[in-house]
Structure 1
């Protein structure tokens, strides 16, 4: 691979997939490890030794492979500028990871000019991976079903009353004073769950869910998900309707339901 910035999305996607391999090699051996170290950040969210070790490893690879690109990571910081920025969430779902729940993933995205153009979501404890690049479609591997490279597409559900919706945590809505919006959405939809974090975005891209909404989220939570969902035919916006990963919250849908859902949860 070139040590400079690439203009070929397939080259950047190959690198992102290699970064996911490197991440899995760090995180999976620490999952359910008896000596896992868990601390609390100032915002009281947990961070483990696997989070920091994973991000440090990915930054090392990027420093070698893309030295001219910037990096934004959950644990080591950075900013989303106008150029090429690799956005890393070393473990999305750290609460699950720290409690031994297998629903967690490493998220890697490349953002150019504020728009995600490459994204990889790797969930090794689930045996799953999802990836996408601009113009190259959205894909997944699911070895348990014998799928090595399956193409993703969102659902065809066209009415909220038939929709399957997800969020992460009802109490988060209450804390933000917006619980009534989530409850209104659940009343408008057929069924609701709290799959949460990276997983419900991936399930929208797979056509399994139709709506996923987060009242609060960070750039590293959403950048990989945005390109994945868009390449699968759906939409991911903030709760004003802007298609951006850094708006502070998110609505992910199959596209057909987006405007109707946004009317309910808009800020």
Structure 2
């Protein structure tokens, strides 16, 4: 693993964006996530790694209450976004998801134009006044997603007509259009070719100057390339969490070392 390019590591150590304490998730009788406590930093990329079924995507979905959509899911513990409990009854999950955006494994543009894909969130959340303001949000969001120059002359063409990598960047533009504080990405490159993957990874590095980014990835090389912090999950437990170089070169837990060296997973 020593040949891996490691991302820039500058992180404000005191700037916890999300604080989770003793988070448990049950799906019916199955205990999927066991007592997870973690602090996720602002303006940094945090990678969740671990074998399939280890709980990393389950925990990611806790951060914007996507597990609310699963009838048999039960979440306990505390998750604070800048000190506010996101599971407080007074918190509207729809408003929360505007602040904690999500990009999924498979690009899923709406069956609408490129423009309307990006404009959707600002419209439904009432974030803009008038067409000129909406035009500006769409342009800036597409620029943040490194897609503007490729689509600016065909904004009214269907988003589904773009290539896979472009569709995923469109979904990123759609997520950032509501000016979220946190951007969650669930294996955003797993359906993409190597060139599109490299483009999205470069984009993730740029996005962290404005957002707290959390990425679930099966690729340890990707985690090393894009993240400043890495959390290793195994069998529903958060085994180890720390600076990415330390996790990959000097893990404290033998389970982490076994996963990184390929003995488990």
Same fold (TM over 0.5): no
- Specify the structure having the higher radius of gyration (Cα): 2
Greater relative contact order (CA < 8 Å, ≥ 6 in sequence) = 2
What is the TM-score with the length of structure 1 in the denominator? 0.30
What is the TM-score with the length of structure 2 in the denominator? 0.30
